[in-house]
A and B are shown apart, each in its own frame.
Chain A
Amino acid sequence: MFNYFANPFRFLRLTSKLQPITMLVALAAIGLGLFYALVESPPDYQQSETVRIMYVHVPAAWMAMFCYVTIACSSAVALIWRHMLANIIAKSTAPIGASFTFLALATGSLWGKPMWGAWWVWDARLTSMLILFFLYLGYIVLYNAFDDQSRGARAAAILSIVGVINIPIIKFSVDWWNTLHQPASVIKINGPTVHPSMLTPLMLMAVGYMALYFWLLFIRTRAELNINKVRKMLIQQTETH
C-alpha cells in the first residue's frame, strides 16, 4: 500500500471520491449524535444536565490522542521510507489534532467548573493533556522553523516520535495517580460501564469526529499536494524563461 500511494495522483483520485463521503458521514453522525446527546439522552442522576458536555468532550479527547499517534506513525514511515505523502499527512494532521486537544481542554474546563468547583485543577490527566497541546504546538512551530522544508519535516518527525511517550501517560494517568478526573468507563476490558442511552450518542459523536477528521485531512492534504504542484510549475516556468 505504501508504494501504491507513493504516487500522489492516485491519492488525489481516491480522496476526491472519499471526501464527499466523509463529509456526509461527519455531518450525519454529528447531527444525529447532537440530537441524541442534547434531547434524547437522560440527564445524569448526579450531574444532571451538565453531563451532556461529555458528548463533546470525550470524543475530542480520543481524537486528540488518535491524531497524535497518527502523526507519530506517519512520521516514522516518512523517516524510514522517505515517503512524501506520509510527511504531508503528518503535517496536515497537526493543526486538526491541536484543535481537538484545545476543544477537549476547553470543554473539560467548562465541565470542571460546575462539577469540581474550579475551571482548572492540576491533576495528572489535565497536565498530561496540556503537555500534549504543547507538543502539538512545538511540532507545528518546528515544522515551519527551517528555510529548507524537508529539514523541518524531518526534525518535526523526530520530535513527534519522542512525544509519543506522553500518550500512554495520558491514557493511564487516571489509574496511576489519584486524580479528580474519573477513570476510563468506555474502553475497558469488561466492556463499557455506560448505559446504552448515553453510549449511543457518545459513539455517534465519536464516529462523527472521526469522519470529520478524515474530511478535514483530505481537504488539507489535497491543498498541500496542489501547493507543491504549483511550486514545481513556478520553478519550471522560471527555468524556461
Chain B
Amino acid sequence: MPGKPLQVFISVIRRELLLAIRHGADSCMIVSFFLIVVILFLLGVGPEPGILSRISAGIIWVSALLSVMLSMDRLFQPDYEDGSLDLLILSSLPLELIVLAKIFSHWLTTGFPLIIISPLLALFLNMGTPGYSTLLIALVLGTPTLSLVGAIGAALILGARRSGVLLSVLILPLFIPIMIFGVSAVDAALTNVSSKPPLLMLGALLLTALVLCPWASAAALRQAAE
C-alpha cells in the first residue's frame, strides 16, 4: 500500500542511512581520504607556516571536492545494479523527491563528517582563528551543493564504461564555482574583509541547485532505467 508522501520520503532517507551504517566503512573511508589528501598537500608544499595558512582554505576545499566526488558513485550505482532503482522510479513519490531524499542522506554520511573534521584540518594547516567560523559556514552551505550537483553526474554515468574517470571529468568543472566562493569567503574573513558576499553567493548556489539538480538527476535516472 502506498504511504503518505512524507512517510515515503522519510523511509527513503531511513533506508539510505541504514545502508550507510551497515556499510560503515564507506563514511570512514571518505573521511580518511579527506585527511590523506590534506596531508599530501602538507607534505608536498612543505611545513612553512606562512605559506600553509595562506593556502589552507584552498587545500581544505579541494580535498572536500575530491572526497565528495569519490563518494558520488555509491549514490545511485548500487541501486542501478541490484534493480531497486526501478522500484524507486515506480514508487508513489515523484522521483525528484526520492532523489532529493537520497542526496540528503548522502550529504549526511559524507559532507557532514567532512564539516566536523575540517576545524582539525584547519588547525593542521595553521589557519588564522577568524577563518574557522567562516570556513564552517561556507562548508555547511557548499557541501550540500556539491552533493546536489554531483548527483547529476552520478545519474548520468550509470552503465557507462570507465565511469569513475568519466564522473570526475563531468562534475569537477561544475564544482569550480562552489569552490571559488567557498575559498574567497574564508580568505575575506582572514584578511578582515566582509565575507558576507561570497557566503550569500554560496547560499544562492545552494538554493538554485536545490531546485534544479533533483529534476536533472531524475531525468537522467529515468533515461538510465529505460
Contact = CB atoms under 8 A, between A and B. Distances in A.
For chain A, what secondary structure do more than half of its interface residues adopt (helix, strand, loop), or is it mixed? helix
B160 A155 contact: yes
B160 A131 contact: no
Contacts of A127: 176, 180
B223 A146 contact: no
B156 interface: yes
Interface string A121-156: 000000100010011011001100111000110110
Interface residues of B, number: 23
Interface in B119-162: 152, 156-157, 159-162
A10 B36 CA distance: 59
B157 A145 contact: yes
B223 A155 contact: yes
A60 to B, nearest CB: 20
A158 interface: yes
Nearest to A124: B180
A151 B159 contact: yes
Interface in B196-226: 212, 216, 219-220, 223-224
A161 interface: yes
B176 A142 contact: no
A158 B156 contact: yes
Given A155-B156, A155-B220, A134 B161 contact: no
A84 interface: no
A98 to B, nearest CB: 13
Contacts of B177: 169
A146 B99 CA distance: 23
B116 interface: no
Contact of A142 (B160, B180, B223, B224): B160
A151 B223 CA distance: 7
Contacts of B176: 127, 131
B173 A142 contact: no
Contacts of A137: 169
Interface string A160-179: 01110100010000000000
A141 B176 CA distance: 19
Contact of B170 (A142, A146, A161, A165): A142
B29 interface: no
B223 A138 contact: no
A159 interface: yes
Contacts of B180: 127
B166 interface: yes
B72 to A, nearest CB: 14
B173 A159 contact: no
Contact of A161 (B169, B172, B216): B216
Contacts of B172: 134
B169 A134 contact: yes
Nearest to A137: B169
Contacts of A147: 161
B220 A158 contact: yes
Given A145-B162, A155-B156, A158-B216, A134 B223 contact: no
B161 A142 contact: no
B103 to A, nearest CB: 15
Nearest to B166: A145
A222 B17 CA distance: 51
A159 B169 CA distance: 12
> 9 shortest A-B CB distances, which residue pairs?
A134-B173, A145-B160, A154-B223, A138-B170, A155-B156, A131-B173, A158-B220, A138-B169, A162-B216
14 contacts: A141-B166, A145-B160, A145-B161, A146-B159, A151-B159, A151-B224, A155-B157, A155-B160, A155-B224, A158-B152, A158-B219, A162-B152, A162-B212, A169-B177
Interface of B: 152, 156-157, 159-163, 166, 169-170, 172-174, 176-177, 180, 212, 216, 219-220, 223-224
